A = this chain, B = another copy of it.
C-alpha cells in the first residue's frame, strides 16, 4: 500500500482476518460481534493507523450526513450581533448537539452565486432561523430535493414545519396598554421587511413586496390598535439603526412628536432610547419606548425595557425538535408559542396627561 493513501475498512478487515462486514459491525459497536473479534479489528486498525470508517462513505450508504443547515440571514456577523438570533441558535444547539448532528451556519442572502454552492453541501435538514422568505430560491431547491425543512416564523410553505409566535397579538396587547395610558400619537420602528438595505417610512408599495412574516405581523399588531401609524423601516436589526430611525421620528417639534415609539425589537428599542437621550428627551416622561423580544441586554440596566417577551430559546428548541422528528420520519405539527407583555420603566402616560 502506498504511503499517501489512507487505509480502508477492507484493508483493516483483511489484516484482522475477518470480512469487511464484520469489521464494519465491529466499528459500529454491534453486540453481534464477539469482544475478541472486535479487539482483533481494533488492533489491526491501530497498526494501520486507521481512524475509523470514512464519514463520507458512511454518509452515502446511510443517506445521512449528520449536518443540519441553519439560515441566519444576511452576513453572519449581523446574526451574531443580534441577541435574539443568538438565543435562537443556542436553543437549537441545545437540542441538536446531544443528537450528534452538527450545525452548519448559512448566510441567508442566498443569491445566485451562493445557491449552486449550497447545492453541493450534504444537508440532512435545514432550519430557516431568521430569514424565512417564501420566494427564497434556497427554499425551492431544498424543497425539491426533499430535505426536511423547518421555518421559524416563516416561510409558510407546503412541507415546511412552522414554528410560530403570536407577534401580532403580543404587540397589540402592548399597544392597548399604551392606548389605555392615553397615547394617541405613536410611531413604530420596523425591522427590515427584506434584506435589501431599504430605510425609511414604509408605504403601501413597500408593504406589498414579499417580506418577513414577523415584521409584517408586528406592524399589523400596532395598526390593530392605533391604525396606520408612521412606520420607519431599518436596514438591519441593530442598535445604530434603531437610533437612526429614532432620531428621524423624535427630532421634530413636540406637538408633532410621537408620545410613544413601538420598536419591533429590543435592539431597535435600545437605539430609540439612545436617540431620545441624544435629543434630551426623558423616557418615559417625554416619550415612551417599547420593544419586542424580551432580549438579554444587560448593558441597558438599570433601565428595564417595556416589551413583549417571546420564548426565543424555546422557539429554537422546538425548531430543533421538529428537525429531529422529521429525521425520524415523522411529521411534527406546526407550533404556535405564546408571548407575554412585560412592563418596564420605559413606558408611562403621554406628556400631555402629565402636565395637566
Which A residues are closer than 8 A to B by beta carbons? 6, 49, 51-52, 55-60, 63, 65-67, 69, 75-77, 80-81, 86-87, 89-90, 93, 97-98, 100-107, 113-114, 116-117, 119-123, 141, 144-146, 239, 298-299
Contact = CB atoms under 8 A, between A and B. Distances in A.
Contacts of A298: 239
Contacts of A75: 90, 93
Contact of A90 (B80, B98, B101): B80
Contacts of A101: 117
Q: What is the copy number of this chain in the assembly? A: 2
A120 B100 contact: yes
A106 B96 CA distance: 11
A239 B86 CA distance: 17
B51 A56 contact: no
A105 B86 CA distance: 13
Rank and list the top 3 A-B pairs by shortest CB-CB distance, nearest first: A100-B117, A299-B299, A77-B90
Most chain B C-beta atoms within 10 Å of own C-beta, residue among A55, A101, A117, A299? A55
B90 A56 contact: no
14 contacts: A6-B145, A51-B146, A52-B141, A56-B65, A65-B122, A66-B120, A66-B121, A67-B102, A67-B122, A80-B86, A80-B90, A93-B105, A103-B104, A239-B298
Contacts of A146: 6, 51
Contact of A55 (B6, B121, B299): B121
A239 B114 CA distance: 37
A60 B49 contact: no
Contacts of A49: 144
Given A89-B80, A104-B103, A120 B58 contact: yes
B103 A105 contact: yes
Contacts of A66: 117, 120-122
Contact of A59 (B56, B89, B106): B56
Contacts of A80: 80, 86, 89-90
Contacts of A113: 98
A105 B68 CA distance: 11
Given A60-B59, A145-B51, A145-B52, A93 B107 contact: yes
A238 B156 CA distance: 38
A70 to B, nearest CB: 9
A58 B57 CA distance: 10
Given A51-B144, A76-B89, A145-B52, A122 B120 contact: no
Contacts of A6: 145-146
Contact of A60 (B60, B103, B145): B60
A28 B55 CA distance: 24
A120 B103 CA distance: 14
A65 B67 CA distance: 11
